[in-house]
A and B are shown apart, each in its own frame.
Chain A
């Protein structure tokens, strides 16, 4: 494999780029099956209540209204782990929870009907905080979860991680030179806010066959995950271009339930496309995360023990929180190399909008919560955090218990080089002045630096299948259930296939993301696109080539092993003039289909270190992110702009800015979410982008033929802790609350002023 790559690592045009920027790309709101109705949801005014009576007669009488559904007449489908979330329930558990569904010819008719549904509620006491939810005598959200503690669930098999128990923590703490402890919260339940709200269109082809269109991230989930929740109908799941997801739109079970139930009742196609308000207030938030515990460390940065309780705020219900807890428990072990662990977890229900899958998937929540604990112990030891991370991030031969409960040995690489090169690019050694020391002070402007790391062993997560079909006209078609949710992964998969097949990139295409025409793929979850999905596509392309060469060999009177192909011609390696075109080898009435698969492999963790420089204005409490450097090793870059884009994404989408200003604000008495719009929910705008540099090393990985791994998912995760550290250093005091809004900064500055008096 000494030939230089034609496409891999090159800035090739994104295949769907022109369609996106010219408005040709189709999103869910562009899809309109014949006779489609519009579905709307009536939402609860109370954070917790029992529906005593519900009168829909007036709503049904509105012209154009075709169905009104309540908890009394929806299909008996259930979601949640274990099953605890019906389509509609007699109980509502947050302000904005679904009460009734309407389908009508127009949106306006559906909205008008909502106003005419008469509901009698019996208000119940509500809990908005995990302490309140866990207190004796607290109101119970779900009968099956006594004490509001969601039960463990074998999401990844019988040994699914819900704790980390390794070694002997008592002994570990005895060996420690420094011990830090405390309770720290990462509970701003941020919203990743892709531009496009979630939406699903459902249409029943007959009583057993359901077609759903959606703008979601993982095409297959609306088939294979939802089948088991809906009595196993034969679901055809189609995804349109997805207007961003950041994990949150991996799928949309509530939207799908509503659309499918209304479609069943009306025998028409029904679209349920959330408004931005619903996207904020009734879709999914990041998990709330609280860590209470302690860490023991030797002078040299060796962590001797890590013990604590991880409380996770689930909101009113969830679909996948236990999976996130499992992955979080795994990721913590990648970041902290420690023989002795005693980490227990508890998943708690509260009366607010549910939590869901968000980029960072458990690890960001846990690590951001214990970031202040690490900072404290490092400060006690006067350890440079970069040295601490170099010492502690998992190295080849290191072990960790992953989500399903198996002990894995890392066969990836030592990321020390990525950390050092990143530090150099950031000029860390010049800017780092020791713990709680600003890098510089100019008038009212204090500058501080911080650093964080994160890694995930999910780059080879779960299984994938793909077909690659070679056509007589010298084109190739990839069959794989891969959505396009913004990262250009479909384009990158075409590059991989084109490289294997040595076809011009414009001759390689993918089938639409549609489970009817494609084999199984788990989806673009975590960072699995490059290694897991990529392997399946590469294997399928190689398999197809093998068949192609077997067909060509007799025509060229040689062995298939002696053949190569370039731009639709097959030739003998040693005698390139002995050649035959694909059309002849394949036959114009034939095609060649190769099959490829990938089986889960959790032995190659990815990694990112993120350096941050902030400036704090002591007069106004404003925190400005001035400079960011992200450093990683991708093995081999498939598509440079796409990878850079993923890393730049560290800031927003419930990432680094959850330490600056992103947060969901809920009234603690009424349960109303107060900032569900894009001006009150603070989301960084383009004119406030800091200087941002990426350092991307390319040391080959033992993965597939391009020796690459995925990075994309993890870029948001090191940011929150890094910002906390940077602001702490600027202010000269440990900051341990998220986000660091001016009120929190000014409070600390006021206290410091008081100290001096």
Chain B
């Protein structure tokens, strides 16, 4: 790892001021579980001169209910989110997503904001510099996406265009189903962004002088049920091969207003609108769940090695819907 300066931010304004002062030469750190790996591998050429620590900002790790929504600060740790009674009461899907990340050590370090803003796991993108040189690619601004013709078993089956790396965040998938918003702040401006709009094919929509400060999740009504499923090769320290989060209302034995979000299948969290439509007003039985699962993967275009993800995604959607029926 190369040398850099490290500053503890005293407030969000202080952090923003430092970001502005060291224009383009900064990186934000909270848990650091992703950033430190990125820096050690030297995968990017614009190595930060300054690393700004957000953990020292008071109350940025809050977890609290305000009116009809829950607010979770960007530096709230994944372990605390999973253990929070507030969150357990209203957002079991978020608890499941937080618990599914990494290992206890990583959850004790990793944060809400870090989980949303972490860089992709694409192995071409992440190739370590000191092993013959980093691999330039479309995502890094130079060259093609090597996954298209290369080793692409974990890459996108939906929505890939020039970069087929998938969004690695587990929390984003749960938050997408929960219809959450994220707060982005820059000097003189605050904006709330739907979590699904927060991501684009190259990462997030955050501007270079913007900081994600908190997440706001509407507290669901009594009829709502929610689940989060994550498929991976091993049950710890592993990213999703496919994940799915579902929230829906079940009244009179039928499904209403389902939000079905798939993870690790596309460059961003993928909302399966066709599946939501297919299950609307239908009972959550085997046949309807299977039909919705088929719809969820409509339009999937697998690469050479990742067609299996379609099967896994269908299974997960179906199982998640059936699970919703049993809640």
Contacts and interface: CB of A to CB of B under 8 A. Distances in A.
B265 to A, nearest CB: 14
B110 to A, nearest CB: 13
Interface string B100-133: 0001000000000000000001011011101111
Interface in B16-75: 37, 41
A674 B124 CA distance: 7
A669 B2 contact: no
Contact of B3 (A43, A108, A746): A108
A277 interface: yes
A743 B308 contact: yes
B187 interface: no
B3 A676 contact: no
B238 interface: yes
Interface in B127-154: 127-128, 130-133, 135, 146, 149-151, 153
A687 to B, nearest CB: 5
B5 interface: no
B222 to A, nearest CB: 31
Interface stretch (B156-164, B229-237, B245-253): B229-237
B256 to A, nearest CB: 26
B247 to A, nearest CB: 22
Nearest to A661: B233
A680 interface: yes
A304 B53 CA distance: 71
Contacts of A112: 2
A486 interface: no
A676 B149 contact: no
- A674, A677, A680, A747 interface centre (most CB from chain B within 10 Å): A674
A390 interface: no
B198 interface: no
A672 B135 contact: yes
Interface string A602-627: 00000000000000000111100000
B323 interface: no
Nearest to B318: A619
A617 B72 CA distance: 36
Interface in A664-694: 665, 667-670, 672-680, 682-685, 687-688
Interface in A4-50: 40, 43-46
B205 interface: no
Given A674-B124, A679-B238, A621 B308 contact: yes
A673 B126 CA distance: 11
Given A621-B312, A685-B103, A742-B241, A667 B234 contact: no
A743 B304 CA distance: 11
B305 A685 contact: no
B235 A621 contact: no
Contact of A674 (B123, B132, B237): B123
Interface of B is mostly: loop
A667 B130 contact: no
A622 B132 contact: no
Contacts of B319: 619
Nearest to A669: B150
Nearest to A108: B3
Contact of A682 (B130, B135, B150, B234): B234
Contact of B308 (A678, A688, A747): A747
B2 A685 contact: no
A523 B37 CA distance: 37
B315 interface: yes
B311 interface: yes
- A96, A278, A620, A667 interface centre (most CB from chain B within 10 Å): A620
A743 B306 CA distance: 8
A743 B150 contact: no
A680 B233 CA distance: 10
Contacts of B41: 277
B233 A741 contact: yes
A190 B287 CA distance: 42
Contacts of A687: 235-236
A679 B131 contact: no
A91 to B, nearest CB: 15
B131 A43 contact: yes
Nearest to A40: B130
Given A44-B132, A661-B234, A679-B238, A669 B121 contact: no
Interface string A369-396: 0000000000000000000000000000
Contacts of A682: 233-234, 238
A620 B315 contact: yes
A558 interface: no
A114 interface: yes
Interface string A55-87: 000000000000000000000000000000000
A669 B130 CA distance: 20
Nearest to B314: A619
A118 to B, nearest CB: 13
A444 B127 CA distance: 37
B146 A620 contact: no
- A96, A108, A678, A743 interface centre (most CB from chain B within 10 Å): A743
Contacts of B315: 444, 619-620
A563 interface: no
Interface in A324-378: none
B239 interface: yes
Given A687-B236, A743-B305, A746-B308, A622 B231 contact: yes
A277 B235 contact: no
Interface string A288-329: 000000000000000000000000000000000000000000
B130 A277 contact: yes
Contacts of B146: 667, 670
B132 A96 contact: yes
Interface string B292-327: 000000000000011110011001101100000000
Given A670-B150, A685-B103, 4 more contacts: A96-B132, A672-B135, A679-B121, A688-B236
17 contacts: A40-B130, A95-B131, A108-B3, A277-B41, A277-B130, A619-B315, A667-B124, A672-B127, A680-B121, A682-B233, A682-B234, A685-B234, A685-B237, A687-B235, A742-B308, A743-B307, A747-B308
**A-B pairs with lowest CB-CB distance, top 9:** A619-B315, A743-B308, A674-B123, A45-B132, A45-B133, A685-B236, A746-B308, A277-B128, A95-B132
